[in-house]
Amino acid sequence: MSTSIPPPSANQDYKSTLLPLLISNKVLSFGTYVLKSGRESPYFFTSTLMHTAPLLRASSAAYASVLSSEPFVTTDANGTTKPNFDIVFGPAYKGIPICAAVLNELAVQDSLSGSPKGTWDNVSYSFNRKEAKAHGEGGNIVGAPLKGKRVVIVDDVITAGTALREAVGIIEKEGGIVAGVVVMLDREERVSDSEPKSAIGCAERDLGGNIPIRSVLGLHDLIEKLSDSIGAGEIQRLKDYRSRYGAE
Ligand SMILES: O=P(O)(O)OC[C@H]1O[C@H](OP(=O)(O)OP(=O)(O)O)[C@H](O)[C@@H]1O
Ligand SMILES: O=C(O)c1cc(=O)[nH]c(=O)[nH]1
């Protein structure tokens, strides 16, 4: 049964409010799961379960909170805040609803702020099709064209970074400039036996070191904050998994 979710506010502590909601709605679950990478994991983040209005709102607000803070925005001496990106890009498939919901959430928060500033008026969303369309407008990008634009990637979870590398490739092929990444959960795993860095660590290195890459939650948050809501056995399995696959 789902749990009712309070409306998000700009200064919400997402780690302490989101985590119980994700668990009670089974977005975050504990058991035995096989990942895309082939690893067997004691937990799984099922973002497709964030399909209810309250969960979509709560998760969008968490992404929006990150995207409306430095270094994703710059505030000048007059207090005017400007985004340091032009496009919020959601990689297919699970990034698609995220990019649209997050941009909407940014605009809603501005409009409810008491003195709307239109901060996000020139920001668009965009996503890719997994199969290119051969008729109509053609191509595999839906939403704003990426050419020459500063693009922030939003996605649900990062493990080995395969999805992120693919998204970067799509954006660069379209002539866009990758300007940042925000994910809901960083699983904080080493990319492979021969690469001890996490996918985010590798992306920071590969994208030049000055591109902001942020997660709302990380595996360490689950281990540190869930001891009252899941069993000691589950926490131990998370720790064992981290010992085996955790990034340096
Ligand atoms: O860091 P990685 O090892 O790539 O794993 C994480 C990614 O894998 C999943 O998507 P998937 O590629 O299955 O595509 P989907 O969104 O179409 O389900 C997940 O939604 C992440 O985007
Ligand atoms: O690595 C994955 O495949 C993966 C992990 C996870 O927690 N959730 C998900 O959708 N995919």
Query: Is 62 a member of any domain?
Result: yes
Query: Is 225 a member of any domain?
Result: no
Q: What is the pLDDT of residue 10?
A: 43
Query: Is 227 a member of any domain?
Result: no
Q: How far is the CA of 48 from the centre of ligand 2 (A)?
A: 11
Residue 94: other Cβ atoms inside 10 A: 17
Ligand nearest the Cα of residue 27 is 2
Cα–Cα distance measured from residue 61 to residue 216, given in angstroms and rounded to the nearest whole number: 11
- What residues are labeled active site? 133, 135
CB 215 within 8 A of CB 12: no
Beta carbons within 8 Å of 145's beta carbon, 6+ residues apart: 126, 174
Which range of residues forms the domain containing residue 82?
A: 56-218
CATH number for the domain harbouring residue 164: 3.40.50.2020
User: What does the mean pLDDT of the chain come to?
Assistant: 92
Query: Is 240 a member of any domain?
Result: no
* pTM over cut 0.90: yes
Q: How far is the CA of 156 from the centre of ligand 2 (A)?
A: 9
Query: Is 247 a member of any domain?
Result: no
CB 56 within 8 A of CB 101: yes
Query: Is 93 a member of any domain?
Result: yes
Query: Is 248 a member of any domain?
Result: no
Pocket test for ligand 1, best of 35, 156, 206 (most atoms within 8 A of CB): 156
ipTM exceeding 0.95? yes
Q: What is the pLDDT of residue 180?
A: 98
Query: Is 241 a member of any domain?
Result: no
Q: Is the CB of 161 under 6 A from ligand 1?
A: yes
How many domains would you assign to the chain?
Answer: 1
